[in-house]
Amino acid sequence: MENQPTLISKAFQTFMTDAPQQAQAWGKVVQELSQASALDARTRGLAYLAVMAALRLESGIPFHVRSLKELGVSRDEVISAILVGLPAAGHVVTQCLSVALAAYDSD
């Protein structure tokens, strides 16, 4: 993954570069919320991916999918996480499926 372009969205890169104090504060909140969760990292990450798909936050999906892959999450689990919101959110989640699978399949 060293020779690959960053998986962090341009918007988030701008946030980290141009608002470093706010980005640092945000990072602390995210870490504290993770630590407070009763869910393990894999389950939390899959749930987060489902929420991202339901909200159509496509730009953040590659980063989170690759993080999940490093935790040993399978391709089928990624598909299931993306599609778990289908009954509640509708077909909007399918728009994120190709983004998620492209990120999973890239080396």
Judge whether residue 1 has pLDDT over 50: no
Count of CB atoms within 10 A of residue 51's CB?
Answer: 13
Contact 79, 65 (CB under 8 A): no
Q: What is the pLDDT of residue 5?
A: 52
Q: What is the pLDDT of residue 3?
A: 43
- Tens digit of each residue's pLDDT (9 = 90 or more) over 22-41: 999 999 999 999 999 999 99
Report the SS3 class of residue 21: helix
Q: What is the pTM of this model?
A: 0.84
Domain coordinates in residue numbering, the chain: 40-107
Judge whether residue 6 has pLDDT over 80: no
How many residues appear in the chain? 107
- Tens digit of each residue's pLDDT (9 = 90 or more) over 70-95: 999 999 999 999 999 999 999 999 99
